[in-house]
Amino acid sequence: MTMKTIKGPAIFLAQFAGDKPPFNSLDAICGWAAGLGFKGVQIPSWDARLFDLKKASESKTYCDEIAGVVARHGMVITELSTHLQGQLVAVHPAYDAAFDGFAAPEVRGNPAARQAWAVDQVKRAAVASRHLGLNAHATFSGALAWPYVYPWPQRPAGLVETAFDELAARWRPILDVFEENGVDVAYEIHPGEDLHDGATFEMFLERVGNHPRANMLYDPSHYVLQALDYVANIDIYHARIKAFHVKDAELNPTGRIGVYGGYQSWADRAGRFRSPGDGQVDFGAIFSKLTRYGFEGWAVLEWECALKHPEDGAREGADFIKRHIIRVTEHAFDDFAGAGTDEAANRRMLGL
């Protein structure tokens, strides 16, 4: 197993894009990010202030221009994201109203048209990623079974199986387009998605025939809030981890509130997202594991914090990631003590 130095620091731009400078254009926001020490940007493909997905899927020239804008600031594009569009590939009717705002205005209020639009968007992201020379793509799976995650009354037999059969049927043609374009789909394993832990990822993977492009975006914060062992998760799934969000979290249950949050605001929940270094995630262990397993991707800051200002989180996050990246060694620490023995000497040492 070949160790690799993780690339970074990079930043996911979704939580920072806005209508005021420097957050309202790709050029300006890249200048801001570069000034903080970031080397890469993960671009939300739905944000027209930063990126035109349709144009990117149809024009290599446009993609070259976008890459040039980023490069002028000494950075590169790490991945495109279709988190919002991926969510719309599979929506339970209970969430139609809540998720309608993620879609283009012309398909809102029409679930079938909205889904077709979402599928087209994610397929376009595969082509755009190839045009940009990227090999991984960040997204969500969407969810059909999520309303039944902790059910009363009990789920009827076959409900979950039917939901995952349908989810896989919707994604299989999309995954094939990513295969044609040489790009991995990295599903962010996330509560609210049908793919929210290792077991559900495996259920999906089985149904898409262990598709080589069906992979994971690893974000330990979502595992902390589920009380799932996020370090052991890397041991199990490292071969499928193709993207990495650096986001912290804490879970501090009390006599009043636990994992489910009590319908409280983020600041008042037992489980809260925090800026890197402010929560409970052992990032030293995570960076060590990913390095040991040869993760070749980027460490991408995703800022979501219940307390800290985003610009402070970004500034501190760049340095945090930089300090955690392990430059891999080219030789063992005890090489100096090598005796230069040969097979004959080895046999003598064993008394043979």
Percent above pLDDT 70 for the chain? 98
pLDDT of residue 333: 63
Over the stretch 247-298, which tens digit does the pLDDT of each residue have? 999 999 999 999 999 999 999 999 999 999 999 999 999 999 999 999 999 9
Place 338 in a pLDDT band, splitting at 50, 70 and 90: confident
- How many other C-beta atoms are found inside a 10 Å radius of the C-beta of residue 199? 9
Task: Tell me the mean pLDDT in the region 188-202.
Answer: 98
Torsion of CA 68, 69, 70, 76, to 10 degrees: -20
Q: Compute φ and ψ for 274, nearest 5 degrees.
A: -135, 165
Which stretch of 74-83, 111-120, 142-151, 339-348 has the lowest confidence by average pLDDT?
339-348
Task: Tell me the mean pLDDT in the region 168-173.
Answer: 98
Q: Report H helices in the chain.
A: 26-35, 53-58, 60-71, 83-87, 96-99, 111-131, 159-181, 198-207, 221-224, 230-237, 283-292, 310-324, 343-349
To the question of pTM greater than 0.85 for the whole model, the response is: yes
Whether 340 shows a pLDDT value over 80: the answer reads no
**Radius of gyration of the chain measured on its C-alpha atoms:** 22
Residue showing tokens 């639009």? 117
pLDDT of residue 332: 67
- Tokens, residue 171: 């994604």
Q: Compute φ and ψ for 268, nearest 5 degrees.
A: -105, 5
pLDDT of residue 118: 98
pLDDT of residue 345: 86
Mean per-residue pLDDT of the chain: 96
pLDDT of residue 334: 64
User: Beta partners for 243?
Assistant: 217
Over the stretch 114-136, which tens digit does the pLDDT of each residue have? 999 999 999 999 999 999 999 99
Over the stretch 70-94, which tens digit does the pLDDT of each residue have? 999 999 999 999 999 999 999 999 9
Whether 341 shows a pLDDT value over 80: the answer reads no
Whether 336 shows a pLDDT value over 70: the answer reads no
Spatial contact of 4 and 11, defined as CB atoms under 8 Å apart: no
Domain annotation for the chain: domains and CATH numbers = 7-349 (3.20.20.150)
pLDDT of residue 14: 98
Q: How far is residue 274's CA from residue 277's CA, in Å, rounded to a whole number?
A: 8
- Tokens, residue 56: 């990117």
Over the stretch 50-59, which tens digit does the pLDDT of each residue have? 999 999 999 9
- Is the four-CA dihedral 27, 275, 197, 294 of positive or negative sign? positive
Place 342 in a pLDDT band, splitting at 50, 70 and 90: confident
Q: How far is residue 219's CA from residue 230's CA, in Å, rounded to a whole number?
A: 9
**Measuring CA to CA, how many Å separate 316 from each of 101, 298, 332?**
32, 17, 32
- Helices (H) and strands (E) counted in the chain, each on its own, are 13, 10
- Specify the DSSP element, H or E, that contains 300: strand 298-301
- Tokens, residue 182: 């040489």
- Tokens, residue 70: 């980023």
Q: How far is residue 61's CA from residue 51's CA, in Å, rounded to a whole number?
A: 14
